[in-house]
Amino acid sequence: MPGNKAVVYEGPGKVEVHETDYPEFELKDGPGVNSANVGRKLPHAAILKTVATNICGSDQHMVRGRTTAPPGLVLGHEITGEVVETGPDVEYIKTGDLVSVPFNISCGRCRNCKERKTGVCENVNPDRPGSAYGYVDMGGWVGGQAEYALVPYADWNLLKFPDKDRAMAKILDLAMLADIFPTGFHGCVSAGVGPGSTVYIAGAGPVGLAAAASAFLLGAAVVMVGDLNKERLDQARSFGCETIDVSAGEPKDQIEQILGMPEVDCAVDAVGFEARGHGRESEEEHPATVLNSLMDVTRAGGALGIPGLYVTGDPGAADEAAQHGSLSIKIGLGWAKSHSFVTGQCPVMRYNRELMMAILYDRVQIAKAVNATPISLDQAPQGYHEFDEGAARKYVLDPHNMLSTAA
């Protein structure tokens, strides 16, 4: 049996790479594992040799100490890998298959899964509907920033790439299917982006950039991306986005300069609960800023896609209400403008197969849009630090040195 190494959250601001247990077909006790999940048998699971596993902005929320994540938690929910072993109940996924792993863990059996609402599966997390690998309050499933990872309900969850050699030639793009690309796409679909739309996306981190690329794929006429970070705005501009520097003031004024009107058809929140203010308040946290500004700039009857993360517990919030997930949202404004809001985890399986085909047939270059940058597993702490400092990159961990030789 091979060994295993993984990226472990050690406490606020600190991640390390440790020797860890090789996966077994049973959920063991450990940091963050719900007691009701301990000992859970997994004959329907597959063990993957990790080909690519990405650092996500939502991982950073935990690493910054902005959640109740326990020390010792193995991180990582964006996984692409090669199947090396399957449990006795796996019928269709085979050893050697190259696959993408949706970050949502879902059973395929409950009412929500049958309705394609895989982000709120009822059977994998005793705490609440919905689960993910290596994430706080998500049932304790071990994260995938590791050499080897376990995927339950493999026949249901895994997306097999149809041609292994062709997939490896585009592996950096396909690595985005686990979360970031479907999440950005979901934000745009939820906001009603379509041919000829004008779109404002708050946040030029990887999810915001993925949303911008998705908006173009959906036929948007104008895609505007707002952020405080010049390097990230430059990255958005590199593939055709208009950019909004929110440190210079409210987005509405800059949108009017671009469009000749202060409103857009569709808006996407790719920032979440660690939002900062605009203009003179851009150095201060104001967690409701993005949501309120999107209601301000979205036309009456429009919609807001909200893939940005909001939490029920934020120990680092500036005020007591925000520490419990209560924000000063101008819901009356949204009500008066008849806005629609879509929140929650992206149901990755609703989109990943179609997005895979868009990648394979050169309809989108998502790795280029988000500036996907491979690094070794041992470089993960450095990658977390640089990402936290605002690097305009999507760091992709390469545990087995397979990405550098892929194409």
Judged by DSSP in three states, 193 sits in: coil
Average pLDDT in the 127-141 region? 94
Whether residue 116 contacts residue 347, with contact meaning beta carbons closer than 8 Å, is answered with yes
Single-letter code of the amino acid located at 156: W
User: 292 pLDDT exceeds 60?
Assistant: yes
Name every residue whose Cβ is closer than 8 Å to that of residue 308 and which is 6 or more positions away in sequence. Answer: 202, 203, 207, 269, 270, 271, 272, 273, 275, 290
Q: What is the pLDDT of residues 170-217, one digit of tens each?
A: 999 999 999 999 999 999 999 999 999 999 999 999 999 999 999 999
Which structural domains are found in the chain, ordered by start?
4-178+347-398 (3.90.180.10), 180-343 (3.40.50.720)
Q: How confident is the model at residue 338 (pLDDT cuts 50, 70, 90)?
A: very high
Instruction: Based on DSSP, count helices (H) and strands (E) in the chain, helices before strands.
Output: 15, 16
Q: Is the pLDDT of residue 404 over 80?
A: no
| Interval 49-57 mean pLDDT | 97
Long-range contacts of 231-234 (CB under 8 A, 24+ apart): 231/390, 231/391, 231/392, 232/204, 232/205, 232/208, 232/390, 232/392, 233/204, 234/392
Dist CA 362 CA 357 (whole Å): 8
Whether 374 shows a pLDDT value over 70: the answer reads yes
What does the alpha-carbon distance between residue 322 and residue 326 come to, in Å, rounded to a whole number? 5
DSSP per-residue codes, 91-152? -S--TT-EEEE-SB---S-SHHHHTT-GGG-SSS-SSSS--BTT-TTTT-PPPSSBSEEEES
C-alpha dist (Å) from residue 223 to 55, 84, 195, 232, 297: 25, 42, 12, 15, 14
- pLDDT given for residue 285 in this prediction: 78
pLDDT digits (tens, 9 = 90+) for 227-263: 999 999 999 999 999 999 999 999 999 999 999 999 9
What is the reported pLDDT for 284? Answer: 82
Residues 59-77: what's their mean pLDDT? Answer: 93
Residue 3: name the closest of 52, 49, 42, 51 by CA. 49
Six-digit token string for 36: 């009701």
Confidence check: pLDDT of 407 > 80: no
For residue 10, give the nearest of 74, 67, 56 by alpha carbon.
74
For 369, the 3-state DSSP assignment is helix
What mean pLDDT comes out for the span 126-134? 95
| Residue 305 near residue 342, CB atoms below 8 Å | yes
The model's pLDDT over 4-25, given as tens digits with 9 standing for 90+, comes to 999 999 999 999 999 999 999 9
- The mean pLDDT of the chain is 95
Q: How far apart are CA 319 and CA 349, in angstroms?
A: 37
For strands 73-74 and 394-397, give the pairing.
unpaired
Pairing label, strands 242-245, 222-227? parallel
Neighbouring C-beta atoms of residue 115, cutoff 10 Å: 10
